[in-house]
Amino acid sequence: MKTTRRQFVAASASMPLASQIIHAAPLTIFEAAAAGDIARAKEICKDSPDSVNLQSPEGRTPLHFAAAAGQVEMINQLVQLGADLSAGTESPMIPVANYSDSKIAADMALPLLSNGSNPDARTKDGVGALGLAAARGNREVARLLIHRGASLDPKDSIVSKAIPEAPRIDRVFFGQRYSWGLSGKTPARDDRRGLPQANINRFVTIAHFDAVAVKQMLKDTPDLLSTRSTWDELAIEAAAHMGLVSLAQYMADAGAPVSMCTAIMLGMTEVVRKMLAEDARRISERGAHDFTPLMYSSFGNEQADATQLLLNAGSDPNAFGLGQTALHVAAAKGHLRIAEMLIAKGADVNALIQHRAGAGTTPLASAHSRKQEKMVEFLASRGGRA
């Protein structure tokens, strides 16, 4: 059996001191990624942030090494550290699509594709990730690739046979994501504005939880407002899915783009109605991390009118976003009116969270964990189970 470097380093503890000095060198970023050594990867990137996107002589980044080794948690960590999700001579989605364990492959694909990795990634020989996933039998990966926009070829018999429902899979639409602002004009937007990407990533990260720090960073560097992180998220979008209503409103007032999902969270139901009237494809828009529009009705204040509008426009009450449904979010928040609407439109009261974090959790269990007793009682009355 092949010995990994980590095993070799551990075994070297019994060697003479000189041998230990020679052989027990710290893991490189590539070795740490393959070994799943998150602490070492974070240590390296703290000292040298650009290490997260280093390329080996073969053009492989740490994400490639993590994907080839099936290191799900490492992939999540590298995304947070600012990894380019489509970098290298071949995208990291290639080893993910071709991974031998379909469950692990799906767990790796979710954080990559939900955060902007190219669904049409191809090998150097021109084989697409979708074809690889279909041939390998990684159906969930293939479905996610299609959902996130992978091109479908009706003549591709491998994909057609493996995923016969492919033409009916809901596909995301981002054509109008950054086209609207409170001024009524298309917001000026540039992904970098000449700013260091590490600063942009930090700004978007803190927008998930620290309004004071966000406002101070904007005061110091106003151009941060409409910049996008390496995981395909603006700061206002981070505040929106975290339910930080006041912070999202602050950035909207400052001129940040307001997507349909953000407008839903802010209670701008008439704006949402207008957006859908202008382009019906917006019903398939997704927010950051692939959260569904219906979820944004519950992320902040209860936006029942927006829920009804979306359901009437054709939103699927059973659509999953980052492994959960809109009913899971409403249940955890205690939003009874929204839960009633969703179930009336056919939401599965016992849908199971599919993400590794909370896998197998029902909406009732989500409500119970958040001490939403009225919601627990309501869901139980509708057949909900814990």
Residue that finishes a domain, picked among 245, 275, 305: 275
| Within-domain flag for 142 | yes
345 contacts: CB under 8 Å, gap ≥ 6: 311, 317
| Within-domain flag for 337 | no
| Within-domain flag for 218 | yes
99 with 150, same domain: the answer is: yes
247 with 137, same domain: the answer is: no
Domain hosting 35: range is 5-168
26 with 150, same domain: the answer is: yes
190 with 270, same domain: the answer is: yes
| Within-domain flag for 329 | no
Please tell me the total count of domains within the chain.
2
98 with 201, same domain: the answer is: no
269-278 helix and 304-312 helix, angle to the nearest 10 degrees? 20
Residue that finishes a domain, picked among 136, 168, 200: 168
The answer to whether 33 and 78 are in contact (CB under 8 A) is yes
| Within-domain flag for 311 | no
CATH assignment at residue 138: 1.25.40.20
126 with 185, same domain: the answer is: no
| Within-domain flag for 349 | no
| Within-domain flag for 363 | no
141 with 10, same domain: the answer is: yes
Residue that finishes a domain, picked among 123, 153, 168: 168
| Within-domain flag for 345 | no
32 with 162, same domain: the answer is: yes
93 with 230, same domain: the answer is: no
- The tens place of each residue's pLDDT in the chain, 386 residues long, gives 444 555 434 443 444 444 444 456 899 999 999 999 999 999 999 999 999 999 999 999 999 999 999 999 999 999 999 999 998 789 999 999 999 999 999 999 999 999 999 999 999 999 999 999 999 999 999 999 999 999 998 888 999 999 999 999 999 999 888 889 998 777 776 777 789 999 999 999 999 999 999 999 999 999 999 999 999 999 999 999 999 999 999 999 999 999 999 999 999 999 999 999 999 999 999 999 999 999 999 999 999 999 999 999 999 999 999 999 999 999 999 999 999 999 999 999 999 998 777 788 999 999 999 999 999 999 999 999 98
Q: How far apart are CA 307 and CA 295, in angstroms?
A: 9
Beta bridge partners of 128: 122
What is the residue whose two structure tokens read 């202008």? Answer: 278
43 with 134, same domain: the answer is: yes
238 with 266, same domain: the answer is: yes
10 with 154, same domain: the answer is: yes
Q: How far apart are CA 233 and CA 87, in angstroms?
A: 18
